[in-house]
């Protein structure tokens, strides 16, 4: 057993009907509740490592690689937030864990919301991390341009080829959100995204999947209004945005507009470190533990 009574993580393959998805599982003792975790647009399951460490075996954690990402990178769709939500519920059922808490970061927050709405028998509660709020696109703005603006480094890396792992790692360390955050855990998360190709290495992430999921969030009114239809959701948000600078993805006006939820802003965090970094991961773990009260 690892620190705090948790077991080392292992990889599990789960049949969700039409495809098989890879998940990373941090197990805990028999009878301990399990949280199912969903990464962001181009993330992967290893983004939850610091949260799992802070949970310390008090709660098990199953982090799912969505279609077109991580261990599931060979799954070429169908994509879409609803499809991902159905996959999450299927994994919960296949692991005999219904109903369970589902946590989601960034795009994963919308997946968690959709899973709760579509599969209430499988999802007992949700915790959202820097996501889930409506994303407004002005009528005169191209949704693809808005998506590129929102994703920044995440979309920029897709389709590129790096000569070696060192060059890819440098791409992250040079980014302001990661400059002071490259722990062994974060490095594992970043490097696990790579796959060999002609000329070196490329990201495993499906750009097609990212764009389908992202555009759907920007133009689908039903998805953008999910938070309005819930009450009392625990939401952890960062102090700054994806570039480690203001404004944050979730501003104070948005929090005031959704006062029916429980908000927690974590100081000295950005959109990535609110999950991957120490203060953020500790806060997320506390909110997850609160679900079991």
Per residue in 267-289, pLDDT (tens digit) is 999 999 999 999 999 999 999 99
Say whether the peptide bond before residue 247 is cis (omega within 30 degrees of 0): yes
Tell me how long the chain is: 293
Q: What is the mean pLDDT of the chain?
A: 93
3-state secondary structure of 56: coil
Provide the percentage of residues in the chain whose pLDDT is more than 90. 83
Question: Quick check: 221 and 88 in contact, CB under 8 A?
Answer: no
pLDDT digits (tens, 9 = 90+) for 117-134: 999 999 999 999 999 999
- For the chain, domains (ranges, CATH) are 3-145+206-290 (3.40.50.1820)
Provide the pLDDT for residue 6.
53
Per the CB < 8 A criterion, the answer to whether 105 and 39 are in contact is yes
Q: In angstroms, rounded to a whole number, what is the distance separating the alpha carbons of residues 102 and 59?
A: 12
> Quick one: pLDDT at residue 141?
86
Evaluate if residue 7 carries a pLDDT over 80: no
Q: For the residues of 140-181, what is the DSSP string, one character each?
A: TS-HHHHHHHHHTHHHHTTT-EESSHHHHHHHHHTSTTTTT-
Residue 227 in tokens:
């938070």
Task: Tell me which residue of 245, 241, 246, 250 sits closest to 271, measured CA to CA.
Answer: 241
Q: What is the distance between the alpha carbons of residues 168 and 196, in angstroms, rounded to a whole number? A: 12
Paired tokens of 33: 């509740």
Q: What is the mean pLDDT of residues 61-81?
A: 97
Q: What 8-state DSSP symbol labels residue 248? A: P
Claim: this prediction has a pTM higher than 0.75? yes
pLDDT(254) > 70: yes
CA gap 244, 269 in Å, rounded: 8
pLDDT at 259 over 80: yes
pLDDT computed for residue 2 by the predictor? 47
Please give the biggest Cα pair distance in the chain. Answer: 55
Q: The tokens of 46 are what?
A: 């290893």
179 burial (CB, 10 Å; 0-12 / 13-18 / 19+) is exposed
Return the sign of the alpha-carbon dihedral for residues 279, 284, 289, 293: positive
């Amino acid at each position: 057993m690892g620190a705090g009574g948790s077991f080392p993580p292992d990889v599990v393959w789960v049949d969700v009907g039409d495809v098989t998805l890879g998940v990373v599982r941090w197990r805990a003792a028999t009878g301990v509740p399990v949280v199912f975790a969903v990464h962001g647009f181009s993330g992967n399951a290893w983004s939850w490592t610091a949260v799992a460490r802070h949970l310390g075996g008090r709660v098990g954690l199953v982090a799912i690689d969505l279609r077109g990402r991580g261990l599931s990178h060979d799954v070429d769709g169908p994509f879409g937030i609803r499809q991902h939500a159905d996959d999450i519920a299927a994994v919960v059922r296949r692991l005999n864990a219904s109903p369970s808490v589902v946590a989601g970061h960034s795009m994963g927050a919308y997946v968690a919301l959709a899973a709760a709405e579509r599969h209430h028998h499988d999802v007992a509660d949700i915790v959202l991390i820097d996501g889930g709020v409506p994303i407004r696109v002005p009528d005169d703005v191209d949704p693809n341009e808005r998506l590129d603006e929102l994703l920044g480094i995440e979309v920029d890396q897709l389709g590129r080829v790096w000569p070696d792992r060192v060059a890819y790692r440098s791409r992250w360390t040079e980014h302001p959100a990661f400059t002071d955050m490259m722990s062994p855990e974060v490095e594992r998360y970043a490097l696990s995204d790579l796959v060999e190709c002609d000329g070196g290495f490329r990201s495993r992430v499906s750009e097609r999947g990212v764009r389908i999921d992202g555009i759907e969030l920007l133009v689908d009114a039903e998805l953008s209004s999910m938070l309005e239809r819930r009450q009392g959701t625990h939401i952890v948000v960062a102090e700054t945005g994806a570039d480690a600078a203001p404004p944050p993805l979730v501003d104070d006006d948005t929090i005031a507009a959704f006062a029916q939820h429980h908000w927690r802003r974590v100081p000295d965090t950005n959109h990535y470190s609110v999950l991957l970094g120490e203060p953020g991961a500790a806060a997320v773990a506390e909110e997850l533990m609160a679900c079991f009260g």
